[in-house]
Structure 1
Amino acid sequence: MTSPSIGAQSSNSTNSSGDPSSDHDAERLAYNARIAELREAEYPMLKDQIYLDHAATTVPSASLLAAFAKDMTSKLFGNPHSLGSASSQTSSMCCDNVRLKVLRLFGADPAAFDVVFVANATAGIKLVAEAMACQPHGGFRYWYHRDSHTSLVGVREMAMQGVSCLEDDAAVEDWICSGTERGSGDEVCGLFAYPAQSNMNGRRLPLSWCGSIRSTNGGICTLLDAAGLVSTSPLDLSDIQTAPDFTVMSFYKMFGFPDLGALIIKKDAGRIFEARRYFGGGTVETVACGGNHEWHFKKDTTLHESLEDGTLPISSIRALDLAIDNHERLFGSFSDISRHTGFLVSTAYTQLEALRHSNGSPVCTIYNDRTDMDNRGPVIALNLLDASGDYVSLQEVQKLASINNVHLRTGNLCNPGGVSHALGMDAKDLMENYSVGLRCSSDRDILNGKPTGVVRLSFGAMSTLADVNQFLTFVKDSFVENTPIDNEDSMVMDHDTNTNFCITSLVVYPIKSCGGYLVPPDTPWMVRSEGLAWDREWCLVHQGTQVALNQKRFPMLALFKPQLDLPQNLLHVQWIGTTTDKVSNTISIPLTLDIRLFREASVASVLSCARTSCTERARPLIYSALEITNFFSAHLDMPVYLARLPPKNHLPLSDEKGILACHFVSGENPQDMPGSFPTPPPSPLRFQSEDELETRQSPGSLANESPILVLFLPSLDRVNALLPEKTEQISPESFRGNIVLGALDVHRKQTDEMSKTLPLRLIEDGLTTLEIYNESSMAWKQPFKLNLMAPCRRCQMVAIDQNTAMRKPEVFAHIAKVRRSNGGVWFGVHAAVDKDDNDYRHELGLVVRVGDRVRGS
């Protein structure tokens, strides 16, 4: 199928009203319709996806990839350094032609500019910074705009003569007009850097600054980060006097492919590279090595020859050649693309700004200036608010977006100055946030009631109004509250103290993030500070990263179904997914800690659970049997090990037979219950504050947050009762609880008005303790207690069907609708043994079984 092409559009006018019914927008709607038509053939990967992360990378067209594949299989490209061969000459000619094409794309005169191919914009920035640092008289002084990308901010670490962060545009104008001194002496070099377009909110900064600096601050070089701007807009470098000395960009942001960048250098500024010390292959004419003869002569014919270390990425350069032509054929000029994406972002901005909850409060805080919408790139930075005005957690936005096939960016966006300013944070706030655990990509995204980052939407050439409308539908369905909100604390519910339950099921998850094992109803099961016996004692570890897999990233883990065969002392694992001829669908693993089962190098095999959300460091043993490794690796189609956390969190000491006898066949005697736990037990679990609702991982466990997760079936019934008609009921398995409680005699004060209140109030919200009654506890003359520690913050993992590994986005979306509070979505309760009430001697005999009575208070 041949995709339609779009020629250049004649109109240069824009409309920021966002009203698609106006006459002015007729041309924009026609262009949008043609984009939607070509998108079906050219961008099949976008089908059923809402891709709004073009500022990070845009999407390559099918025709570009097809043309590249055809070109690579029909022509022979050699190494340009292999002089004389036809394939080498083909590559050299290609590189020369593409350099010229890049310069012409930006209106740059080849007589005044040169192009150096680099990995990306950051690599180009680093190349300039390293050259500046090598300048005589102590290096250079550095000025940068606050809205700079992290890669520009990082240059300051190499500026030995001083650094100045210019807080806003006015500060830059004042600095230019004042003719600021360049440093400690006239011979000290200076560099001013800034983005042409903020990668946070799309605000475009004046391109005239480079010319002004050139005329008023002679000797100061200018570095323009054009990566954001040129992704959807033209850049004109035709005026040599006003053009920046150095311009960097990343072509994957423009075309989606190839992964390549460029540093465009004004030739009269190339002098700074003369002090560059390093040289690589292809950048020198002659090199002498050995003895006292250590010298070399650099290539000096062109700038790019002296700066492109090593062999050029010829395939990527050829792909760029094809990408430039293909992009123009599909979309017309970058001016056409700019008008189109400007129309989309204006429409999105207007509708997002108008969104309201049922009580009239806004749904979004938008960090774009409405008065300046005509001078912005197609980017919107925002945060979502609930009906009470509290910020919605970025993690919840990301989770709901993920399961609804919405692709966007959250966090500080590698724009530390811009995001901090938008959120009203200063250096002190950032230090306090860091001290309490905030990190890049951290899930601690609301601190002291304030967000630590933003949500970014960004549009590209192939975006359409359908993307805007579908995103708005997503926001309305997921975040707009149309139900009255109770002003009281919605996470607390009054109830009578006589709240009686029974245990309807017990589930352990022997292998972290894999399927659960349903404890037989007539089997007593040990419970101690570390949780239920055998719960999360194993995990699957990626062989390369040494990080434990989790079901959030790898839903297929749910298809491993473990079964504990205690009489035979075996863990049976069945794979219920698609069969493979490589390995069997079942495997049996001994429960004993025979040291011969594990790798000899297991002492050095340290798995940092902190990298997978745990807070403790575990030292698991890696199974050495290839049969075990192949079983899990083949079914997951990735290289993994099966690892086990040993009982005392260290290597077992063998007896004469080489076996540590720490497992027993189950029996009625509680002391004979099987289990593998540290001894003596660790101190009781604590969480830092009730506001943050945090828990910590138990030492000696692979549990993420707490030893035990308790689910209340009456609460699930209330959640299911609010599901839309004809919607499949949510099962308890979705929440992967350990102890599931059904109601015997639950007395609650509940009115019709409360049932209409969101977040939904559930019986466990007012409970702090569970007392469990059974024959074993009565032998001690008293029940044993579980402390209910904090609600469980849910993620998109609840949307994974535990029997098919298929995602059901409506499950998490519904939970998020009815149980969102304090920046999170909550269902189920974390619990741990109350060791203040149950002394250590008592704890040795703690067991539970299906049918035990439980009293909540």
Structure 2
Amino acid sequence: MADGAAQPGAELLAFERFREASAQPLAYGYGHGQRGLRELRAREFGRLAGTVYLDHAGATLFPRASSGASLATSWKTFTNISSKLTQDTVEQVRYRVLAHFRTSPEDYSVIFTAGSTAALKLVAEAFPWAPRGPESSGSLFCYLTDSHTSVVGMRTVAAARNATSIPVRPEDMRSAEKRGAAASDPDCQLPHLFCYPAQSNFSGTRYPLSWVGEVTSGRRCPRARTGAVVRAAGRGLLREHLPAGPVAHQADFVSLSFYKIFGFPTGLGALLVHRRAAPLLRKTYFGGGTAAAYLAGEDFYIPRPFEDGTIPFLDVIALKHGFDALERLTGGMENVQQHTFTLAQYTYTALRSLRYPSGAPVVRIYSDSAFCSPEVQGPVINFNVLDANGCVVGYSQVEKMASLFNIQVRTGCFCNTGACQRHLGISDEMVKKHLQAGHVCGDDVDLVDGQPTGSVRISFGYMSTLEDAQAFLKFIIATRLRPQSSQPVPQAAPGEAGTAPAETEAQSTVPATVPTTVPTTGHITVSTVPATGHRPNPSPREDTPTACRAGNGWPPAVGAVHLHPPLEATRPLQAPPEKAAAAPGGGLGPHVITNLFLYPIKSCAAFEVTQWPVGHQGLLYDRSWMVVNHNGICLSQKQEPRLCLVQPRIDLQQRIMVIRAKGMEPIEVPLEENGEWAQICQSKVCADRVNTYDCGEKISSWLSRFLGHPCHLIKQSSDFQRNAKKSRGKGQPAGAQATLSLVNEAQYLLINTSSVLELQQQLHASDENGREELFPMRDLISRFRANIITSGASAFEEEKWEEISIGSLHFQVLGPCHRCQMICIDQQTGQRNQDVFQKLSESRERKVNFGVYLMHLSLDFSSPCFLSVGSQVLPVLKENVECHDLPASENIRMLSPKILFFPQLKLKFLFYNDLYFY
């Protein structure tokens, strides 16, 4: 449920004022005070320096001392091999687990599993489901809709055993509790199962343990008796919500994962089985440790409810040090509960108080409690950020912004679709609609038709500090409520956004030819309109090669390609002056390519050219190489900003790539794989598997020295084809498939200088210090790492294009590029500045889009396949772009091709320069 509002405000709530206003005593810092907690944090969690980690509900962090002690004990156990010693140590850990949850071996057994999910799966598969039949309704599996996927997934096992599953809403449980209703059950002796979380992993709501007793006695959940499962893997504060205390509150089964408590070991959980429920488990498989006795020659087997096979005993032994460290550092789970709840309550109160100048709330909190007590609320806050108009800001955008402030949060639906639907008001039909729109669990499609598909979650752990909470709150204030300049943001007016690039020596050799055709659809009629005297820009040289062979191995005639040195050594980017003269007729000037870039090594510096050959995968050698770490994982500037300082240049004549970096001797890499390269079976780019070659130890050592850690340079295999997910456009035959290099999504990225200019003006208008050169056009353009830079169109007009033609090449516009944090990296220095991302987020209506992706519609290799600076760009607008008003003048002058659709007249016009067609 969306939370209500507090008093308007935009300032950070003082912690002392919050404590004074609290109706109950608040505990913070385990008695050490803020200074003592800072020292503990620095000593045990020094790796968090500069980072605010707020995803403890996903996985908490382990302290340095416990990890060291664990390794020492594990090594000692390993070197002193004794099955008896190991078995005794494991049994001691079982007792320690039960003691942590205030129970004993007389009541529960501990079965170690691969995690909480494996524990639940074990219960589902071993439970004695009674199937439905003519004379029996069969067993029931009831589960709370506010449950993790691993709980809901148990219904598939129940269905396979012909049992009935019943989803139970939290409000139904609460209403039944108020009524004190008991359900009649004609099959009351059959085994039934009810499962619910001790704490919601979505909102942090803690559900009453009293439900366990009411379920097992038949007073809760229609006809569900005998079995009750508590999933306790939601957080580290498990002790307070596990089956402790009266027998009526002891669940039959409890599942948990230990990394949620200690941060390690991952892949280890447990199923606590009550003695009364142990006989119910009927395993269909038995292995070592599970059989009390069996015969190999006949079907004789006496089960024992323990683990199958050899358990990960070193990981189990490590748990002891987790319990020891937690007790030593905090004094016990009661202290942890009070500490983390205080932080959550303070953050919740501060968030509710944040208001826009209009009084509108900054966030919408999803909670079933008012954060008044740790008994009903865990240290989890789930919310969505709103803009000043009350519209939700997509969670993906919030996560990207948070990462720029070194804040780690969790976003999405958190594997809890039921809670997500209930709190966000998403109907079953909407979930299916979102799926049809391309949204699946785990992706970053955060808004569909303006409605959120998920939310943002922060959660605190025992090592979290007040500074963490306040850093998060300051981030929200800085990105949503920072003072904006009263000066109106200047817009890119007609005539201010582009001139043709200054002629260079390389360009002067290109003849000024005029295309004789324009893109059309269907029959056209030419009508005379007075000419303006403007001519299209030059097309590529006529003496370029007349055929381009497939693949990246084709060596074009070097004399036909004009190269520039890296960005730092070349002429300034052709950015439009702010006061460029307006073109005749009020247009923006000829629409041409002003700059061309390729990026031979993914995430490294740009290589600027004035003319370059085109292959099947885009510009020849664009993103053909990438840098990977010692595990073979692709590195990007998000993890390694210094990659932008690595400058590759392609020498087509010598068939080499020369790589430079400050303080390093240049190094050469062959353009094609050779006998010295070791083949790597596969690597991964944007979830796609690609076949690659390692470029050798020499370049690996060079890169490792510059970046300061082991890494390799690998190249996509020339005989490997990576197909684009969205590639077939209009006019392409069925089955046609575009191929990709190591790019993320498409063969080309295009940006419009008018769009950059508008962003620059917005950045300067909001700069309180008035530093006009804080974001020069040159630097802004380089941040967006596009292949094609154009001028002559209005700001963001490129997002309305459906197709474009450049000479004989035709491209489909796939859609806008959804930007990530890389645009915050200055490509000349590697330094970060979040203002660009934040301003773009504010100005683009909650979506950080900039530039458009292009893909070849088709490639005709019988004609020249080059892109050149100065070539004219001919766009075709999307069919749904409408124009309802005509200019008053009879002479309609359009300086770039546009389609105008007049629905009231049922006419469509194509305007090209001073001619119009219909």
Which residue does the alignment assign to 2:649?
563
Which residue does the alignment assign to 1:203?
205
User: Residue 649 of structure 2 contacts residue 658 of structure 2 at CA under 8 Å; is this kept in 1?
Assistant: yes
User: Residue 770 of structure 1 contacts residue 856 of structure 1 at CA under 8 Å; is this kept in 2?
Assistant: no
Deviation, 1:524, is 3.1
Which residue does the alignment assign to 1:357?
356
Q: Quickly say closer, same or farther: Cα 1:683–1:789, change in 2 above 3 A.
A: closer
Which residue does the alignment assign to 2:749?
708
Counterparts of 1:213 and 1:111, CA distance in 2: 22
Counterpart residue type for residue 148 of structure 2: H
Which residue does the alignment assign to 1:228?
234
User: Residue 494 of structure 2 contacts residue 587 of structure 2 at CA under 8 Å; is this kept in 1?
Assistant: no
Deviation, 1:799, is 2.6
Counterparts of 1:633 and 1:127, CA distance in 2: 48
Counterparts of 2:152 and 2:662, CA distance in 1: 48
Counterparts of 2:465 and 2:204, CA distance in 1: 18
Which residue does the alignment assign to 2:247?
240
Counterpart residue type for residue 252 of structure 2: D
Moved more, 496-505 or 219-228: 496-505
Q: Match of 1:462, SS?
A: coil
Moved more, 401-410 or 711-720: 711-720
Q: Quickly say closer, same or farther: Cα 1:368–1:485, change in 2 above 3 A.
A: farther
Q: Match of 1:125, SS?
A: helix
- Residue 687 of structure 2: which of 602, 608, 611 is its match? 611
Deviation, 1:422, is 1.0
Q: Match of 1:307, SS?
A: coil
Q: Would you say 1:525 and 2:548 are equivalent positions?
A: no
Which residue does the alignment assign to 1:92?
87
Which residue does the alignment assign to 1:643?
716
Q: Quickly say closer, same or farther: Cα 1:729–1:844, change in 2 above 3 A.
A: same
Counterparts of 2:731 and 2:823, CA distance in 1: 25
User: Residue 740 of structure 2 contacts residue 747 of structure 2 at CA under 8 Å; is this kept in 1?
Assistant: no
Structure with more helix by fraction? 1
What does residue range 29-108 of structure 1 map to in structure 2 within 5 Å? Answer: 31=31, 33=34, 34-74=36-76, 87-108=82-103
Which residue does the alignment assign to 2:276?
268
User: Residue 224 of structure 1 contacts residue 246 of structure 1 at CA under 8 Å; is this kept in 2?
Assistant: yes
Which residue does the alignment assign to 1:516?
606
- Provide structure 1 residue ranges, at least 5 long, that are not aligned to the other structure: 1-15, 80-86, 301-305, 613-617, 651-676, 687-695, 749-761
Counterparts of 1:253 and 1:645, CA distance in 2: 45
Q: Match of 1:827, SS?
A: strand
Q: Would you say 1:824 and 2:847 are equivalent positions?
A: yes
Q: Match of 2:418, SS?
A: helix
Deviation, 1:458, is 0.5
Deviation, 1:195, is 0.4
Counterparts of 1:384 and 1:20, CA distance in 2: 26
Q: Match of 2:196, SS?
A: strand
Deviation, 1:456, is 0.3
TM-score, with structure 1 as normaliser: 0.75
User: Residue 694 of structure 2 contacts residue 712 of structure 2 at CA under 8 Å; is this kept in 1?
Assistant: no
- Report how many residues are paired: 738
Q: What do residues 231-280 of structure 1 show as CA deviations (whole Å, max 9, x unaligned)?
A: 2652451322321111122222122233332221111110122x212112
User: Residue 196 of structure 1 contacts residue 206 of structure 1 at CA under 8 Å; is this kept in 2?
Assistant: yes
Counterparts of 2:74 and 2:443, CA distance in 1: 42
Q: Quickly say closer, same or farther: Cα 1:40–1:553, change in 2 above 3 A.
A: closer
TM-score, with structure 2 as normaliser: 0.70
Q: What do residues 495-522 of structure 1 show as CA deviations (whole Å, max 9, x unaligned)?
A: 7423457755321123444432111xxx
Deviation, 1:380, is 0.7
Q: Quickly say closer, same or farther: Cα 1:647–1:724, change in 2 above 3 A.
A: farther
Which residue does the alignment assign to 1:751?
none
Which residue does the alignment assign to 1:254?
261
Counterparts of 1:799 and 1:18, CA distance in 2: 36
Counterparts of 1:261 and 1:815, CA distance in 2: 45
Q: Quickly say closer, same or farther: Cα 1:324–1:465, change in 2 above 3 A.
A: same
Deviation, 1:128, is 1.0
Deviation, 1:157, is 0.5
- Residue 761 of structure 2: which of 695, 715, 718 is its match? 718
User: Residue 543 of structure 1 contacts residue 640 of structure 1 at CA under 8 Å; is this kept in 2?
Assistant: no
Q: Quickly say closer, same or farther: Cα 1:768–1:98, change in 2 above 3 A.
A: closer
Counterparts of 1:94 and 1:647, CA distance in 2: 52
Q: Match of 2:346, SS?
A: helix
Which residue does the alignment assign to 1:19?
18
Q: Quickly say closer, same or farther: Cα 1:77–1:197, change in 2 above 3 A.
A: farther
Deviation, 1:538, is 5.2
Q: Quickly say closer, same or farther: Cα 1:563–1:685, change in 2 above 3 A.
A: farther
Counterparts of 1:109 and 1:51, CA distance in 2: 35
Deviation, 1:409, is 0.5
Which residue does the alignment assign to 2:661?
576
- Residue 166 of structure 1: which of 165, 168, 180 is its match? 168
Counterparts of 1:736 and 1:137, CA distance in 2: 62
Deviation, 1:55, is 0.6
Q: Quickly say closer, same or farther: Cα 1:507–1:397, change in 2 above 3 A.
A: same
Q: Match of 2:276, SS?
A: helix
What does residue range 69-468 of structure 1 map to in structure 2 within 5 Å? Answer: 69-74=71-76, 87-132=82-127, 140-159=139-158, 160-171=162-173, 174=176, 179-180=182-183, 185=187, 188-216=190-218, 219-228=225-234, 230-231=236-237, 234-235=240-241, 237-259=244-266, 260-273=268-281, 275-289=282-296, 293-295=297-299, 297-298=301-302, 300=304, 306-371=305-370, 373-374=372-373, 375-468=376-469
Counterparts of 1:419 and 1:434, CA distance in 2: 15
User: Residue 396 of structure 1 contacts residue 824 of structure 1 at CA under 8 Å; is this kept in 2?
Assistant: yes
Q: What do residues 207-245 of structure 1 show as CA deviations (whole Å, max 9, x unaligned)?
A: 101111222268520000122265265245132232111
Counterpart residue type for residue 111 of structure 2: V
Deviation, 1:526, is 4.5
Counterpart residue type for residue 642 of structure 1: K
Q: Quickly say closer, same or farther: Cα 1:685–1:556, change in 2 above 3 A.
A: farther
Q: Match of 2:255, SS?
A: strand
Moved more, 633-642 or 39-48: 633-642
Moved more, 843-852 or 626-635: 626-635
- Residue 670 of structure 2: which of 568, 589, 595 is its match? 589
Percent identical among aligned pairs is: 29
Counterpart residue type for residue 265 of structure 1: V
Q: Quickly say closer, same or farther: Cα 1:424–1:645, change in 2 above 3 A.
A: farther
Counterpart residue type for residue 227 of structure 1: A
User: Residue 217 of structure 2 contacts residue 226 of structure 2 at CA under 8 Å; is this kept in 1?
Assistant: no
Q: Match of 1:114, SS?
A: strand
Which residue does the alignment assign to 1:507?
597
Q: What do residues 89-129 of structure 1 show as CA deviations (whole Å, max 9, x unaligned)?
A: 32222222222222222221321222122232222111111
Q: Quickly say closer, same or farther: Cα 1:70–1:25, change in 2 above 3 A.
A: farther
Q: What do residues 626-654 of structure 1 show as CA deviations (whole Å, max 9, x unaligned)?
A: 6699679968735774214669979xxxx
User: Residue 632 of structure 1 contacts residue 641 of structure 1 at CA under 8 Å; is this kept in 2?
Assistant: no
User: Residue 134 of structure 1 contacts residue 276 of structure 1 at CA under 8 Å; is this kept in 2?
Assistant: no
User: Residue 591 of structure 2 contacts residue 790 of structure 2 at CA under 8 Å; is this kept in 1?
Assistant: yes
User: Residue 17 of structure 1 contacts residue 346 of structure 1 at CA under 8 Å; is this kept in 2?
Assistant: no
Counterparts of 2:299 and 2:386, CA distance in 1: 64
User: Residue 182 of structure 1 contacts residue 188 of structure 1 at CA under 8 Å; is this kept in 2?
Assistant: no
- Provide structure 2 residue ranges, at least 5 long, that are not aligned to the other structure: 1-14, 496-585, 875-894, 898-918
Q: Match of 2:470, SS?
A: helix
Counterpart residue type for residue 242 of structure 1: H
Q: Quickly say closer, same or farther: Cα 1:280–1:238, change in 2 above 3 A.
A: same
User: Residue 478 of structure 1 contacts residue 816 of structure 1 at CA under 8 Å; is this kept in 2?
Assistant: no
Which residue does the alignment assign to 1:674?
none
Deviation, 1:308, is 1.2
Which residue does the alignment assign to 1:673?
none
- Alignment RMSD (CA, Å): 4.5
Counterpart residue type for residue 843 of structure 2: R
- Residue 848 of structure 1: which of 863, 868, 879 is its match? 868
User: Residue 748 of structure 2 contacts residue 787 of structure 2 at CA under 8 Å; is this kept in 1?
Assistant: no
Counterparts of 1:315 and 1:577, CA distance in 2: 47
Q: Quickly say closer, same or farther: Cα 1:345–1:17, change in 2 above 3 A.
A: farther
Counterparts of 1:398 and 1:71, CA distance in 2: 39
